[in-house]
Amino acid sequence: MSTWFGRSISEDDLVDLHGKVVILTGGNTGIGYATIQMLARKGAKVYMAARSEERAADAIKQLKSEDIKDGSVHWLKLDLTDPRAAKQSAREFLEKEERLDILSSSADHLVDIMTINHISHAAFTDVLLPLMKRTASESGSDVRLVNVASRGHEFAKPSTFSKELLTSKQSGTSFGTIMDLYGLSKLAMILYTKALQIRFNAAAIPITCLTMHPGEISTRGANNTIRTIPYLGWLAGALVPLLFGSPRTGAMTVAFAAAGKEVAAQREKYQGAYLWPVAEIGIPSSFAVDARLREELYESTVLVLKELE
């Protein structure tokens, strides 16, 4: 079966997730919502990490009405506007669970972009990594760290990834400025994920890390961004539902990364991979495979995280 994006992924292509614990950020709408639906239908206990309890409760109610079989979905409070709050959310999760098999992170915020899209997610992940490592040490484990990036990372062409760049309060209102900043945050996510994979491999820690561009998908965030295009934004925004894929289509690549049978069977092939739709290994920008930038980004991120302690 295929979509106009290429191949198609369904729940049949995912591993059994009964007894597995999942955290997915940004899951009360769009791609995240559709991903949670797919993972829960495979029996996972999924934590929907989101700021608004009301919106999360509405989304969970809707998911249950659409049949998630014997999986379950729970709200985990997560405020990505403050990295310290993100760390606290992760600590609260550690009080609830004794394992974490899948961590899937996604954010497409256009205000305080680097903080929300990269720094807060890195802070959240950092607190959870010891538990993920313990889970990965168990026999038969299949622990995965999935970060949803974007083809928008191709807009970013930094000469360096200094700590100052990561912590500067950059913002903008024009389409060009927003995409530059958004692309930079998504490039940071790709580089950081690859850096983690390299360190896991060096320490013989069996965690599989992946990033991906889920596709041009009709979501609220995509529509809002496109409407900032000068002069033609209103027209482009109106065409998004017609020309872009559905959230379910976008979720296919994310769910494949998080729980695909093919990834389980060929771990070495997918370690540190960048995927594009649907569920194919893609080629990121030259900046996304630059070893110097990768290490600069990683070390700068570590410095920022230390300041949060």
Neighbouring C-beta atoms of residue 171, cutoff 10 Å? 13
Q: How many CB atoms lie within 10 A of CB 37?
A: 24
Scored b (16 or more CB within 10 A) or e, 102-140 reads bbbbbbbbbebbbbbbbbbbbbbbbbbbebbbebbeeee
CB distance 117 to 109 below 8 Å = yes
- List phi, psi (to 5°) of 21: -115, 135
Structure tokens at 17: 């997730």
> Which residue out of 33, 47, 182, 274 is catalytically annotated?
182
Q: Which of 67, 62, 65, 3 is nearest to 33 (CA)?
A: 62
Verify whether residue 33 is a known catalytic residue.
Answer: no
Residue located via tokens 């994979």? 197
Instruction: State the catalytic residues.
Output: 182
